[in-house]
Chain A
C-alpha cells in the first residue's frame, strides 16, 4: 500500500459531513495556518513541497502563487478549477463527491495565503449533484465558524461560492474559465496579462485545480519538506489517477508516483489487469490530449528502462517515444480497440470543444475529424495520412490557448506509433469495416523500439 494523503479517509462512513470530517482530524490545517502562520509562510511551505499543478500542466504551485500582484486596495481572488472535462479524467469529481470538506479546507488555507476574501469554485455544469454537495458542505463549514466573517476569531473573512459552467471543455483553460465566470463565452484571453496580474474582473487572480488545492492540506499539516520526501525527483507528493477503459478495476487511485506503469495496470491494488484476460494494446496515460503510447513504449522507455507513473518518467523520450502524466486520466485500450476510431472520437471531441477564436484550431479540428471519418469508414487515401500530419503540425503552437495543441497531439501520436493501422484501413476498405487490426503492430519491426 502506498502513501495516501488525500483519499486516506474517503471511505470513512459519513465523511461527507462536517461532523465526521472534523472528528477525523479535518480542518486542522486551517487552525494551524490562520493562527500560527502568515500568508508568506504558507506560500513558502507550498514552494518547499514541490507541489505541481494537478490539472495537467504541472506548473509549480508555490511559484504560481508568488506571482500574484498585490496592488493597494484591489481585491484578489482564488478560483478553483473544477471544470474537469479532459476525456479520461474524473478524479476531481471523486474527491468533491466523497470528501468535499477536504477541498474546502484547502481552499480556506489557500485563500488566506493569497488574500482572497471571495473565492469561487467553477465546476463543470454536468456535475450538478456535486454542486449541491459542495453548497451543503459550505453551509456546514460556515455554521462551524470555518467560513464567513472573522474565521476562528482571527479576523480573516472568506466566502466560497460555487458556480456551474454549462458544458464547455475550453472553460478548463484558466483564462476561458475567468471569462465564463464573468458571464461570457469561454474564449481564452491573450496572455499577458496573466491572471496573477489581471484575472477575474481584471483583479489579481490565481486559478488552481481541485486536487492541487486539496494537496495544500497535507502540506500544511506535515510541512513542505516532509511532503517533498514522498515521491521521486520533481514528482513530489501523491497524485490521483483516474483509470478507465478496458481494465478490470476502473476507478480513482491515489499513487505516490514511485510505482511502475506495469504495476499500476496489472496489480490488483490498482487496475487489476486487462479485462477478459486480453492483451494490452495501447494507453493514453494522462488524459485524452497527451500522446497515446503502444504497449511496448508504455511499460518501458525507448532505452528499455522501466517506466514509472510520474511526470519525468512518463515524458521520457519526449513526444517521439514518450507521453505525459497530464491530468492523470489513464485510458487503457485492449487488443480489440481500433486506433483510427479512437482517434476519430477524440478529434470529434476537440472539434466540438474548439471555441472558434483561432483559425488553425477552428478549421483544423474540423478537417482532422472529417479526414479521420473518411479513413475509418473505408474511404481514405494514402495522402490523407500526410494531410492529417500536416494539419496537426499547423495547429500546434499557433493558437491562443493550449486547446490547439491538445487537439493536435492525439492525432500526431496515433500516426507516429500506429501508422500501419491507418494504412491498413486505407488498403482494406471493406475488411476494416468488419474486423480490426488488433496487435499486428507488434509483428512489425518498425514499431518495436531498439
Chain B
C-alpha cells in the first residue's frame, strides 16, 4: 500500500496545519498522526511515520518519539474493529473483568490479539472518561457503554453484519 494522502486527506491535512502560527507546523503532529492512522488501515507503519515527517518538514525521529508515546497510535496491524475495553478502578468495580473475560471467550482471542478473520482486536485500556456508564469500551469513534454480555453479543453481531455488507 502506498502511504500517501489522497486529495480529501490532503485537504484535511492543510486544514489542521493552518491552525498554528507560521513555522509552528510541528504542532499539528498529533492530529496528523490521527489522520494518517484513519487513512491507512488503522495503524502506522514506519513508512507512514516517515511520510508524516516529510509532510510536516520535521525529522522522522520527532515523529517516532511521539507515535510511541501516545497509546492511541497503533504501531502494529489491528483488526477492522478494535474493542478498547476499560479496566481501571471505576469500571473494575462495575464489573469490567467479566466483560473482558466474555469477549476473550466469544472471540477466542487474548488482549492484544486479532481474530483470524481480521475483524476484531481486543485491547485493554485505562480510563476513558465514561466511569458513570461502566463497564464500557471504545470502538472507533464511539463509546459503547453499560456493557452486558447480551450487549457484547449484539455489538459483535452488528459489526459482523456491517462488515458483510461492505
Contacts and interface: CB of A to CB of B under 8 A. Distances in A.
A87 interface: yes
A414 to B, nearest CB: 11
A84 B31 CA distance: 18
Contacts of A93: 129-130
B93 A88 contact: no
B136 to A, nearest CB: 10
A347 to B, nearest CB: 10
B19 interface: yes
B149 to A, nearest CB: 19
A66 interface: no
A352 B33 CA distance: 21
A231 interface: no
Interface in B83-140: 87-90, 92-94, 125-134, 138
B141 A128 contact: yes
B11 to A, nearest CB: 15
B10 interface: no
The listed residue with most B CB atoms (<10 A of its CB), out of A125, A181, A333, is: A125
B7 interface: no
A305 interface: no
Contact of A168 (B71, B90, B130): B71
Contacts of B21: 75, 118, 201
B141 A129 contact: yes
A90 B132 contact: yes
B131 A244 contact: yes
Given A85-B129, A252-B132, A183 B94 contact: no
A346 B127 CA distance: 10
A149 interface: no
A77 B141 CA distance: 29
A87 B131 contact: yes
B90 to A, nearest CB: 5
B71 to A, nearest CB: 4
Given A164-B34, A169-B126, A182-B26, A88 B89 contact: yes
Nearest to A331: B90
Nearest to A181: B27
Nearest to A337: B93
A87 B132 CA distance: 10
B28 A183 contact: yes
A124 interface: yes
A185 B66 contact: yes
Contacts, number: 147
Interface residues of B, number: 42
A396 interface: no
A64 B142 CA distance: 36
A304 B56 CA distance: 61
B133 A250 contact: yes
A392 to B, nearest CB: 17
Contact of B131 (A88, A168, A352): A88
A245 B94 contact: yes
B26 A87 contact: no
Nearest to A120: B19
Given A88-B90, A345-B88, A349-B126, A185 B69 contact: yes
B24 interface: yes
Nearest to A242: B132
Interface in A299-350: 329, 331, 333, 337, 341-342, 345-346, 348-349
Given A184-B66, A185-B66, A166 B93 contact: no
Interface in B52-84: 56, 58, 62, 65-66, 69-73
Instruction: For chain A, give the interface size range.
Output: 35 or more
Interface in A164-182: 164-169, 180-182
Contact of A346 (B70, B88, B138, B142): B88
Nearest to A187: B69
Contacts of B147: none
Interface in A78-133: 84-90, 93, 118, 120, 124-129
B4 interface: no
A251 interface: yes
A90 B30 contact: no
B66 A342 contact: no
Interface in A248-287: 250-252, 284
Given A126-B138, A164-B30, A90 B94 contact: no
A341 B125 CA distance: 17
Nearest to B67: A166
A93 B128 CA distance: 11
B120 to A, nearest CB: 19
B48 interface: no
Contact of B31 (A124, A164, A252, A346): A164
Contacts of A243: 132
Given A125-B30, A183-B62, 15 more contacts: A85-B129, A87-B127, A90-B131, A93-B129, A126-B129, A167-B72, A168-B70, A182-B27, A243-B132, A250-B131, A284-B89, A288-B89, A331-B90, A345-B87, A345-B92
6 contacts: A90-B132, A126-B72, A163-B30, A163-B31, A183-B28, A201-B21
Interface of B: 19, 21, 24, 26-31, 33-34, 56, 58, 62, 65-66, 69-73, 87-90, 92-94, 125-134, 138, 141-143
Q: Which 8 A-B pairs have the closest CB atoms?
A: A183-B29, A166-B70, A250-B132, A167-B71, A167-B72, A244-B131, A183-B26, A87-B127
Interface of A: 75, 84-90, 93, 118, 120, 124-129, 161, 163-169, 180-186, 201, 242-246, 250-252, 284, 288, 329, 331, 333, 337, 341-342, 345-346, 348-349, 352-353, 355
